[in-house]
Structure 1
Amino acid sequence: MKRGFLEACVLAAISGEESYGYQIVKDVPASMGLTESTLYPLLKRLEKAGCITARSAEHNGRLRRYYRITDDGRARIEEFLAEWPSVREIYTYVEGAHHDAR
């Protein structure tokens, strides 16, 4: 489940403007526990799925990869948001069952 949240957070982080790995890690809430080592495989999956595009550009004498969301990526965010009410319902059930068991 957390993978879906990470994917949505990464897509949201680049939904306004293109960004690069280190900046994406900084922009995603720390509570998600996103690191560069988990980010780059996720970016590759998102690129392969057509949710993002990537380009390389020089920055301070070094190549940096910039990522931009696509229409498919925006649709993926919409799908995530549409599923949120059922996720909230499951959370409420689990929370209630846990407290009732005490």
Structure 2
Amino acid sequence: MLKNLDNMPPAWSEKPEFVKLLEIAEVSNLSPEEMNAYQHDLKMLRDEHNVREFAIEEAVKEKAIEFAYEMKQNGEPIDKIIKYTKLTTEQIEAL
């Protein structure tokens, strides 16, 4: 059955459900060594993704703090700073 997947009609290869099915079939056909390598690579990709996401979140928080500080220095009301930065009252008052 798996050897026939290469002969799949081209229209099927454009449908996400068939692409996913093909990926599952390929992974389930891996040897134990290949499966270990696959799992390791998958973990590395997920870790890299999470590190990037965390870095982006931290950068956004830092920009919000900088923006809030500037707004506070310009005398903007705390309610307005909260609205635009999504920071807490405590975070703003600590600036």
Normalised-by-shorter TM-score class: 0.3 to 0.5
Q: Which structure: greater strand fraction? A: 1
Q: Which has the higher contact order (CA 8 A, sep 6+)?
A: 1
> How does the TM-score come out when normalised to structure 1?
0.33
* Bigger CA radius of gyration: 2
